[in-house]
Structure 1
């Protein structure tokens, strides 16, 4: 019987990819089917995006991201497909690296990145944009700052339009999803693995 050429760490890494992908798509499905978020009208720009306030720290806010992480390079039309192909190519390179990874932490970090990338790629293929909904832009620990009238525009950079009130809270300014979280954690682990642990091969 021929021995498998795929290392054991790659097998469990593939399982992590599957888990990240399934959890990401399941949570997005729940958001898309909930009427309160008005997701499809929001996508077509025929209605407002929905928003559910859960606490002073975390809300659920329907946002369609047509660009990279943090809303960079918003693209539609042909730009949407160019972005899709670019992300697919980068994801493919990371997956090839994963199959050759020699260290468990390298395989783990790459699996998180690839699983998250796959989840967002499916969204981009289906809708032309990625479903984002975790919103931690509310003030953390109740810390808020009054903005002078001349600086009110600054709030618009960090705060959704429905939350503009002339005050800037100490919170995370971006709306994200499970895939984004997996990519971010994976990228941080990869940096630690490659640079702090001196693994440059």
Structure 2
């Protein structure tokens, strides 16, 4: 036996078992924590992620297009005659009334029907006649949503991006109506023939 041979430690069952245990522990740790690449990608803020912007923009375009198209469709087809809105007649005139028409059942009686209304205020018709204030509020809400997207979501927060895109689409759709029509068009009438609690009511009803 040479000196070199005597300096080399012999492999024993205990050392092999220890090495195997360390390998399994490392693999389990990687599985739980994820690879460094995935962790780094999750830490990228949304405003620096092309994918996050694509999700936000595509969902926004689809939602605002559906919103405006559905309103145009409803005001052309729900009433017996197409309803044409003139800005000068609608803007600043909360008393402006649409032609009477019966509601069209959409899903089931007393659940949802289509009934044309104009809302000069906010939800439940609150704040009638304050269009400029609501336009300013919408601009503030849009800026806030974009700030939340850029600063408080990551590149992989896709559900948050979809939700923010829907908020943006609703705000922009309503702002378009206030600027182009003079009031927000609506036609979805939930729980018709039922009274809402606390004295609230749907616009136009």
Interval of TM-score (by shorter of Structure 1 and Structure 2): 0.5 to 0.7
Superposition map of 1:18-97 within 5 A: 18-34=61-77, 35-36=79-80, 38=83, 40=85, 43=90, 45=96, 47-54=98-105, 55-56=108-109, 57-75=111-129, 79-97=130-148
Shift in CA distance, 47/135, structure 1 to aligned 2, threshold 3 Å? closer
d(CA) in 1 for partners of 2:202, 2:101 = 16
For the 8 Å contact 1:39–1:62, the answer to whether it is kept is: no
Q: Is the 8 A contact 1:38 1:50 kept in 2?
A: no
SS of 1:64's equivalent in the other structure is strand
Tell me if structure 1 keeps the 8 A contact 2:119–2:183: yes
What is the Cα deviation at residue 125 of structure 1?
0.9
The match for 1:119 is: 173
What's the secondary structure of 2:192's corresponding residue? coil
Of 92, 98, 123 in structure 1, the residue corresponding to residue 149 of structure 2 is 98
TM-score normalised by the chain length of structure 2: 0.58
Conserved 8 A contact 2:61-2:169: yes
Deviations 1:26-45, CA, capped at 9 Å, x for gaps: 00111222353646389472
Give 2:16's aligned residue: none
Kindly tell me the number of residue pairs found equivalent between the two proteins.
143
Q: Which residue of 2 aligns with 1:110?
A: 164
Q: TM-score, normalised by structure 1?
A: 0.59
Deviation at 1:120, TM superposition (A): 1.0
Deviation at 1:47, TM superposition (A): 4.9
Query: Which runs of 5 or more residues in structure 2 are unaligned?
Result: 1-46
RCO higher in 1 or 2 (8 Å CA, sep ≥ 6)?
2
- Contact persistence 2:63–2:169 (CA under 8 A): yes
SS at match of 2:137: helix
SS of match in other structure, 1:40: coil
The CA distance in 2 between the partners of 1:51 and 1:39, in whole Å, is: 18
